[in-house]
Amino acid sequence: MSPISASVAVIGGGPAGLMAAEVLAEAGAAVTVFDRMPSPGRKFLIAGRGGLNLTHAEPLPGFLTRYGEAAVRLEPAIAAFPPEALVEWAVRLGQPVFTGSSGRIFPKALKSSPLLRAWLGRLGLGVTLQARHRWEGWDAAGALRFATPEGAVSVRPDAVVLALGGASWPRLGSDGAWAGLLPGMVPFRPSNCGFLVPWSAVFRQRFEGTPLKRIALEFAGQRVRGEAVVTAAGIEGGAVYALSAPLREAIATAGQALLRLDLRPDLDAPALAARLDGPRGGVSLANHLRRAGLPPVAIGLVQEALHAGATAPLSALVKALPLPLTGTAPIARAISSAGGVGWGELDGQFMLRARPGVFLAGEMLDWEAPTGGYLLQACFSTGAAAARGVLAWLDRAG
């Protein structure tokens, strides 16, 4: 069977599914994208609310290390559709990009909506979209089964790409409800998530929603500079997300993780000790800590540690404040999820071993990565890889 005479169902209208649909349609396949939401790309739109971080300019060897143990499985897909290819793709859609000082790559529009509109416009020339179709597995005859507002629908394409997403932000479409339909599931866990901290009532009431700027976080030998935000339940933000995987695993093992905060990473320990560790006379603790340039929220954190029984000198607390994390924020609030279909269930072309002709892509596979463009890049790359797998399989089947 040649691709030009084949019908392919893509289930999931996020970046991975839409990229698979584009590659397949360009090869001549008759592609239908099924999505359970009223319109595709809803999580993609939310990802661009603060400036769509498409990918990262980090050289590929370092880029791949961001995927941890899954890097060896993702490398062929990302090498075949690397950041440079994603940038070229965006430019062809009329969305030029720029590289920020951190190496993150953004569309100049700093939004996802113009890119998604242009993309759907191009896909509309050869791809059919079926909204409000929730996939419910296969029927007894092997056809795909969907629930729709009008009732059950069965579809029997020549090949299938599943790009159903993970389990974070379920209200946007990726609720993980499909997990019981596929073999080899690794349980979903929150990734790039916030963590729970047992704040005192006074600290919570005063500082909920307050940003922690120009700090450094350290855990298990990893140190990250950046920003975070105090929440009613704990702490979240970019610097926290970068350490979310080891923090989550430590909590799962020991019930708690001790994160260290450097509240003045730009000031060395001796200089800080000279300001803080001598007698303070009649000066209040808060005013004494202001001598080190600490904002009110950082002063509050030091006071929290002292009230919890910390005995280290003030300068040591400022440079390595202990913050006990007692749990992860709910997966529904996480930026992404870890877990999904295990790699052992797939062949080298992203085909499900148990169901020939069924290919998987995106966040429904068992991988995770930090924010910074790595998440979207892997979704786009695996979508393209799954589509290439479909085309190769159709050729062999013919």
Helix orientation angle between 374-397 and 71-80, rounded to the nearest 10 degrees = 80
Report d(CA 296, CA 153) in Å as an integer: 59
The pLDDT, as a whole number, for residue 210 is 98
Q: Which amino acid is at 253?
A: T
**pLDDT of 233:** 96
CB–CB of 170/176 below 8 Å? yes
Give residue 2's pLDDT.
Answer: 57
10 Å Cβ neighbour count for 171?
Answer: 11
pLDDT in tens, the chain (398 residues): 555 679 999 999 999 999 999 999 999 999 999 999 999 999 899 876 778 999 999 999 999 999 999 999 999 999 999 999 999 999 999 999 999 999 999 999 988 999 999 999 999 888 999 999 999 999 999 999 999 999 999 999 999 999 999 999 888 888 999 999 999 999 999 999 999 999 999 999 999 999 999 999 999 999 999 999 999 999 999 999 999 999 999 999 999 999 999 999 999 999 999 999 988 888 899 999 998 899 999 999 999 999 999 999 999 999 999 999 999 999 999 999 999 999 999 999 999 999 999 999 999 999 999 999 999 999 999 999 999 999 999 998 87
Every domain of the chain and the residues it spans: 3-190+334-397, 195-328
267, with CB counted inside 10 A (0-12, 13-18, 19+), is middle
As a whole number of angstroms, the distance between CA 51 and CA 100 comes to 11
Tokens representing residue 195 in the block: 């963590």
Q: How far apart are the first and last CA of the chain?
A: 3
Q: CA 162, 163, 168, 170 torsion: positive or negative?
A: negative
In the prediction, which pLDDT does 369 show?
95
Residue 106, phi then psi, degrees to nearest 5: -130, 150
Task: Tell me which amino acid residue 270 is.
Answer: P
Residue identified by tokens 């242009």 is 118
Amino acid at 378: A
Distance CA(281)–CA(152), nearest Å, equals: 77
Coil, helix or strand at residue 385: helix
384 CB-near residues (< 8 Å, 6+ apart): 19, 20, 23, 77, 80, 81
Q: What residue type is 63 in one-letter code? A: F
Dig out the tokens for 95 from the structure.
């969305």
Indicate the helix (H) or strand (E) that contains 276: helix 269-276
CA distances (Å), origin 330, targets 171, 190, 194, 252: 14, 7, 8, 14
**Which superfamily, per CATH, for 3-190+334-397?**
FAD/NAD(P)-binding domain (3.50.50.60)
Which tens digit of pLDDT belongs to each residue from 181-216? 999 999 999 999 999 999 999 999 999 999 999 999
Which residues on neighbouring strands pair with residue 259, listed in sequence order?
Answer: 323
Closest CA relative to residue 235, chosen from 252, 222, 246, 247 = 247
Beta bridge partners of 228: 212
Provide the pLDDT for residue 5.
73
Predicted confidence at residue 48, as pLDDT, reads 64
